[in-house]
Amino acid sequence: METVNGVIIREKQIGEQDKAIAVLTKEKGVIEALAKGAMKINSKLGSATQLFTYSKLCFNKNKDRYYLNSCEPINLFYNIRLEVDKFALACYFADIIHYTIQINEPCENVARLMMNTLYFLDNGKVSNETLKAIFEFRHICEIGLMPQLLCCRRCYRYSTDLGLNMYFDMKDSMLLCEDCYNRQHDGDTEEDEEDTSHMYKLSPQTVEILRYIALCDQKKLFHLKMSEKRERSVSFITEEYLETKLDVRFNALTFYRSLSHKIEE
Ligand SMILES: [Zn+2]
């Protein structure tokens, strides 16, 4: 028997009465398990196996398969299920986790990030768009895809103290300062013009925010404050970077965007 705490990131009815669940845990990454009888009306497994609930779960293991034996909810994150944009965002975060985290792979920082993000999504103390930017960018950094954000890859200037704009090269995960970018593209003729569709111009403030999300102590992550305009531009960049690196578009994100959160650049 194994007891762990975790967040339910998937639930799916199997047959008449059973449920398959996926749980994000610190110790074992994502655990997939069968909750027998969880769909019965008076099942003791019902509430603690609902999507996004943080629960204490006790599993039996048989030939590498997990079966849920008992469970109790610790935090239901009830408000997430009441508001459709919060729900859509939480589904998007769960999809990212499911896509990037292996079974049986310890992932303490990733699990803590997900739990904290759900906590603030539930209590509404941090805006949805800021939470989205924080989760996307910190998660991609936690799984080993952090870009080089410290200085220009050519001249090594740190930039923000000089008030310089930077170009974020998403393919190579590097920064290029505006001077070096202009020098590189000065005198480009149409034929030798380089494809710059993966280069995004960032203000010094946006660079600072990305550095903060990538590098600060997790305890301070959710202290981040941005204006509405800034959070839209940061969220645009973090979304593009995650999509470029994972090479996938999640349906839940398309759904979240369809709820009139269209990004204005
Ligand atoms: Zn430079």
Q: How far apart are CA 11 and CA 249, in angstroms?
A: 21
Q: Are residues 64 and 105 in the same domain?
A: no
Tell how many helices (H) and how many strands (E) occur in the chain. 7, 8
Q: Are residues 163 and 262 in the same domain?
A: yes
Q: Where are the extended beta strands (E) located within 63-192? A: 65-75, 166-169, 174-177
Amino acid at 265: E
Picking from 76, 98, 123, the residue at the C-terminal end of a domain is: 76
* Mean pLDDT (whole number) for 120-127: 96
- CA 158 to centroid of ligand 1, rounded, Å: 9
Q: Are residues 92 and 161 in the same domain?
A: yes
- CA 171 to centroid of ligand 1, rounded, Å: 18
Q: Are residues 163 and 142 in the same domain?
A: yes
- CA 214 to centroid of ligand 1, rounded, Å: 21
Q: Are residues 178 and 247 in the same domain?
A: yes
For 165, residues 6+ apart whose C-beta sits below 8 A from its C-beta are: 177, 178, 201, 202, 203, 204
- CA 35 to centroid of ligand 1, rounded, Å: 56
Range(s) of the domain holding residue 123: 82-265
Q: Are residues 191 and 233 in the same domain?
A: yes
Q: Are residues 72 and 87 in the same domain?
A: no
The model's pTM: 0.92
Q: What are the tens digits of pLDDT across the range 206-224? A: 999 999 999 999 999 999 9
Cβ atoms 252, 148 nearer than 8 A: no
Q: Which residues surround ligand 1, an ion (CB under 5 A)?
A: 152, 154-155, 177, 180
Q: Are residues 18 and 140 in the same domain?
A: no
Please state, for a pLDDT cut of 70, what percent of the chain lies above it. 94
Dihedral sign, CA of 50, 51, 53, 55? positive
Number of domains in the chain: 2
Cβ atoms 143, 149 nearer than 8 A: no
